[in-house]
Amino acid sequence: MAAVGILGGTFNPPHIGHLLCAQEALDRLGLDRVVLMPVHTPPHKLAEADPGPAERVALCRAAVAGDRRFAVSTREVDRPGPSYTAATLRDIHAEAPHDELTFIVGGDMALSLPTWREPAEVLRLARLAVAERSGATREDIRERLAPLGGEDRVAFFDLPRIDVSSTDVRRRVADGRPIRWLVPDPVADRIAARGLYRTEVPAP
């Protein structure tokens, strides 16, 4: 049996904020490992300047290479179309029924959980680990999730504020600006070698 954290996302590209979130969850929640799980098609938003799921997987692998605490899963990438967390967790649970699953999200995503497909099933299959930053409070999140009956399935951990996003990284690449220290060096090297994100990124 293993305590496995799952950090899903578009990872377009993965940056130090993603890795810090994975590290803090692992450290604070006693996880054995954290798995980065890129989606094939985000169900709630368009992936801008997307180099494709296979390339995003390669970027994630570059980001965690050499660190045994982290792994990358192609489970959602291998399943075309929008990715739904409940279906993914069911598949993982069927294959490894004795593992304890923890699904890692930010506070804004935790607040939106009731709008997801089968939110109660998500909480049944995995503990929800919420990265605390400025914004959503524990009380707000608990109140929002209470109707799902999973209050005891929610854990919180502190996440230092790092003001970096994948959109910012893509925009800097398109503008010819450096991205070192914002992404792991192997990610920056692959972005440069493959010529990724050189087209203009729209302003938010």
Please, what is the Cα angle at 32 between 34 and 138, to 5 degrees? 65
Cβ distance 124 to 150 under 8 Å?
Answer: yes
Cβ distance 49 to 12 under 8 Å?
Answer: yes
pLDDT band for position 200 (cuts 50, 70, 90): low
Range scoring the smallest mean pLDDT among 42-51, 132-141, 153-162: 42-51
pLDDT band for position 43 (cuts 50, 70, 90): low
**Does the pLDDT at position 135 exceed 70?**
no
Question: Does residue 11 fall inside a structural domain?
Answer: yes
The proportion of the chain whose per-residue pLDDT surpasses 70, expressed as a percent, equals 93
Distances from the Cα of 142 to the Cα of 94, 112, 121, 156, angstroms: 28, 12, 17, 11
Mean pLDDT of 73-77: 95
Cβ distance 6 to 101 under 8 Å?
Answer: yes
Mean pLDDT of 10-20: 96
Question: Does residue 180 fall inside a structural domain?
Answer: no
**Does the pLDDT at position 56 exceed 60?**
yes
CATH number at residue 27: 3.40.50.620
Question: Does residue 188 fall inside a structural domain?
Answer: no
Question: Does residue 201 fall inside a structural domain?
Answer: no
Cβ distance 88 to 111 under 8 Å?
Answer: no
Question: Does residue 191 fall inside a structural domain?
Answer: no
Mean pLDDT of 67-87: 91
Residue 135: domain span: 3-165
Q: What pLDDT shows up at residue 81? A: 76
**Does the pLDDT at position 181 exceed 80?**
yes
Coil, helix or strand at residue 8: strand
Question: Does residue 189 fall inside a structural domain?
Answer: no
The proportion of the chain whose per-residue pLDDT surpasses 90, expressed as a percent, equals 75
Number of domains in the chain: 1
**Does the pLDDT at position 82 exceed 90?**
no
User: Helices 53-64 and 185-194, interaxial angle, to 10°?
Assistant: 150
pTM for the model stands at 0.91
Question: Does residue 187 fall inside a structural domain?
Answer: no
159, 163, 165, 170 alpha-carbon torsion, rounded to 10°: -150
Q: What pLDDT shows up at residue 161? A: 83
Question: Does residue 8 fall inside a structural domain?
Answer: yes
Mean pLDDT of 108-129: 94
Please report the sign of the dihedral spanned by the C-alpha atoms of residue 83, residue 98, residue 113, residue 9: negative
Coil, helix or strand at residue 82: strand
Range scoring the smallest mean pLDDT among 84-93, 108-117, 195-204: 195-204
**Does the pLDDT at position 204 exceed 50?**
no
